Structure 1
Amino acid sequence: MELLLETVALFCLKLAYETEGESPILRDDPIMSDYEREVFGLLVRREDIEGIQFRVAHCLGLAMEAIGGIDTVLGRELRRLAADVSAAQTMGQLDSPLIALKDYLKDIQ
């Protein structure tokens, strides 16, 4: 799950900060310091669902701004997927919404 969370964060930050013609944002980029696999790993081991949801929500907020907000087609779908992540109450319930979110973010890159 740590890799999945890191990937979601990476795709969000790419949407928010990556610009054409510049170096791409990579997993070892300093901007990823709060969203590294080890950080998510600690949250997963602690089963800190709220902590995970907080970090994911922060990244999604940045991505939402980058795609024009909730008044866009992309924004409405992103909000729907984000709501599914926020609704999870157990670690097991996070898997499917995170996979759907990752796939969507990858598609809109």
Structure 2
Amino acid sequence: MELLLETVALFCLKLAYETEDSSPILRDDPIMSDYEREVFGLLVRRGDVEGIQVKVGECLRLSLNAVGGVDTVLGRELHRLATDFSTVRSMEQLGTPLIALKDYLKDIQ
């Protein structure tokens, strides 16, 4: 779960900050410090669904802005997937919407 959360955050930050003429954002970049596997691991061990949603939500807002907001085709779909993720209430329910977010963010990179 921690790796999947970190991957979603990484794809969001890549979408928001990576440009064609810059070096790629990697997992060990300083920009990822608040979204490292260990940070998510602590939240997962605590069963802190709300904390996980806050962390991922921060990244999703950045990526939503990067694609032009909810008024664009990419933005509408990203917003829909983010909403699905934000309505989850248990750790057991996180997997499916998180995988959908990861796959979509990977596709739109």
Gaps of 5+ in 2: none
What's the C-alpha RMSD, in Å, of the aligned pairs? 0.4
Aligned equivalents of 1:62, 1:26: Cα separation in 2: 17
Which runs of structure 2 are paired with 1:4-19 in the superposition (5 Å)? Answer: 4-19=4-19
Aligned equivalents of 1:51, 1:10: Cα separation in 2: 17
Report how many residues are paired. 109
Percentage of identical aligned residues:
78
Deviations 1:33-92 (A, max 9, x none): 000000000000000000000011100000000000000000000011001110100001
What TM-score do the two structures reach when normalised by structure 2?
Answer: 0.99
The answer as to 2:42 corresponding to 1:77 is no
Deviations 1:3-54 (A, max 9, x none): 0000000000000000102110000000000000000000000000000000
What TM-score do the two structures reach when normalised by structure 1?
Answer: 0.99
The answer as to 2:26 corresponding to 1:26 is yes
